[in-house]
Structure 1
Amino acid sequence: MSFTLATWNINSVRLRAGLVERLMTEEAPDILCLQECKSPVDKMPLAQFAELGYTHCVARGQKGYNGVAILSKLPLEDLGEMDFAGLGHARHVAARLENGTVIHNFYVPAGGDKPDRTVNDKFGQKLDYLTEMRDWFRESRPENAILVGDLNIAPREDDVWNHKQLLKIVSHTPIEVDHLGAAQEAGGWIDVTRQDIPEGNLYSWWSYRSPDWDAADKGRRLDHIWATPDISSAASGSRILRAVRGWEQPSDHAPVFATFDL
């Protein structure tokens, strides 16, 4: 089985349903994982996506916040969700393809503005979430699995526009990078994007606050595709569709792609 998979923080699937349909039409990934859907599942425009061939869906949602969905042309089995850190948020869902490959779709908490849990509860929640991810992977080490999503951390120096300036900025602080690295190591996950594109600056998010995001190019790579070692060598063709960030009324994230030949 060969399939192309994409992950995209859509920042409201109802508001940007047209952009999702455009991506489905122009790029036609076999599987599209969305985060920050900001909608209950019964309010997501799933019928519109089904008309374009995405007749299978596993999703978790809530009104106005969070929300994750796996939209697929291929049959899916719902494997449930995990509520790390007990937040009660729709931040994870898992599904299994017919060939046995498991897909995890994550939306890790952003963590607020101040990288100090003593004054910012959201930062503490982010660290706790990552710690429980680590523990889960350690206890039930994944196999034949792909993990995608907005992990809200840019781990490498070349995953941000300026490493030194962002060391004290949430998403690139050393403690966040360490926590993400511990979760990745616990599951044995391979960063597929960097496996395919090992060198050079690479971003998937540009702030709305920048009036000319493209020219300023102050980006961060917050969106990731990982795979377990037993299937990571089957991945190829990784890319980030930067141009999507320039579509009308866009998400501040661009979709990330990879192809798997399993």
Structure 2
Amino acid sequence: MPLTISTWNINSVRLRIDLVAKFLKATRPDVLCLQETKCPDDAFPLKPLAKLGYVHVATNGQKGYHGVAVVSRLPFEAVDRRSFCDKQDCRHVAVTFGERAGLKDPATLHNFYVPAGGDEPDAAVNPKFAHKLQFLDEMRSAAGLHAAPGARAILVGDLNVAPLEHDVWSHKQMLKVVSHTPIECEKLGAVRAAGQWVDAMRMHVPATEKLYTWWSYRAADWAASDRGRRLDHVWVSPAIGDRVSAMTVSRAARGWTQPSDHVPVTVKLEI
């Protein structure tokens, strides 16, 4: 069956619930993964989502910071939440879809929000950057993120690293900017290699072409300057590496009223 999954760093779900609704009405994915929800679980805006048919929700949130959620039209078989770096930051939630969702074989979906890392790319002087590097190291070694042979898994989210040359507007100018430094790119690559994850977005847009999902609020005219980065990712396990039939980056959402600085990414899987 086809399964459509969208991922979006919404930068406050309560502030932008109308934009979430606008996107869901227009795109109708089966599942929407949100990051940076900035919302405790008991305050998550369930009613507007339920009115649109998204009645299955798994959250891992906290007041004012971080937070992730999976919003779905399909029921879950299981929900898992993990902590990293001995912190209580809410940066991960995973759900498993199975027979109740119409799947013959189960599929697990991980939703991540990796720390941004601050402004100074030096772990010795910037604790936020040190935290980011440790988080990526723990992702690499996490047993549950190493796909067993035949396992059907998807990993999405704001991973806060633009790893490839054309994932940023200027490779040379970004080498010393947090999100594209060599050590971050190396560590994210190690996470992907450890789990044998397939980069679903680059299956549809060659690595030689520019591909962005984020544009800074600081730009006077984000579209004209087009100084973007690909911070949001969709990875799939080898067992379904050839099942991604479509991929869309909803660039227009960056131009909506009071937008997030990220835009949604949607993939269609034939699983």
For residue 148 of structure 1, what is the aligned residue in structure 2? Answer: 156
| Aligned: 1:123 with 2:129 | yes
Name the CA shift for 1:218/1:64 in 2 (closer, same or farther; >3 Å): same
User: Mean Cα displacement is larger for which, 85-94 or 167-176?
Assistant: 85-94
Contact 1:58 1:78 (C-alpha < 8 Å) held by counterparts: no
Unaligned runs of 5+ in 2: none
| Aligned: 1:235 with 2:244 | yes
Task: Give the Cα–Cα distance (whole angstroms) in 2 for the partners of residues 228 and 63 of structure 1.
Answer: 33
Give the one of 102, 107, 112 matched to 2:113: 107
Task: Give the Cα–Cα distance (whole angstroms) in 1 for the partners of residues 79 and 225 of structure 2.
Answer: 41
User: What amino acid is the match of 1:109?
Assistant: P
TM-score normalized with structure 2 length: 0.94
Contact 2:147 2:153 (C-alpha < 8 Å) held by counterparts: no
Name the CA shift for 1:200/1:82 in 2 (closer, same or farther; >3 Å): same
Task: Give the Cα–Cα distance (whole angstroms) in 2 for the partners of residues 139 and 207 of structure 1.
Answer: 30
For residue 68 of structure 2, what is the aligned residue in structure 1? Answer: 68
Name the CA shift for 1:219/1:137 in 2 (closer, same or farther; >3 Å): farther
Task: Give the Cα–Cα distance (whole angstroms) in 2 for the partners of residues 140 and 152 of structure 1.
Answer: 20
* Match runs of 1:40-119 below 5 Å: 40-98=40-98, 99=103, 100-119=106-125
Contact 1:149 1:223 (C-alpha < 8 Å) held by counterparts: yes
Q: CA deviation at 1:140?
A: 4.5
Task: Give the Cα–Cα distance (whole angstroms) in 2 for the partners of residues 149 and 222 of structure 1.
Answer: 8
How many residues are aligned here? 262
Task: Give the Cα–Cα distance (whole angstroms) in 2 for the partners of residues 188 and 71 of structure 1.
Answer: 26
Contact 1:138 1:186 (C-alpha < 8 Å) held by counterparts: no
Task: Give the 4+ runs in structure 1 shifted more than 6 A.
Answer: none
Q: CA deviation at 1:78?
A: 3.4
| Aligned: 1:190 with 2:198 | yes
Q: CA deviation at 1:80?
A: 1.4
Q: CA deviation at 1:79?
A: 2.8
Contact 1:153 1:176 (C-alpha < 8 Å) held by counterparts: yes
TM-score normalized with structure 1 length: 0.98
Unaligned runs of 5+ in 1: none
User: Mean Cα displacement is larger for which, 190-199 or 219-228?
Assistant: 190-199
Contact 2:139 2:145 (C-alpha < 8 Å) held by counterparts: no
Task: Give the Cα–Cα distance (whole angstroms) in 2 for the partners of residues 213 and 222 of structure 1.
Answer: 16
Q: CA deviation at 1:139?
A: 7.7
User: What amino acid is the match of 2:96?
Assistant: R
* Partner SS state of residue 258, structure 1: strand
* Partner SS state of residue 112, structure 2: strand
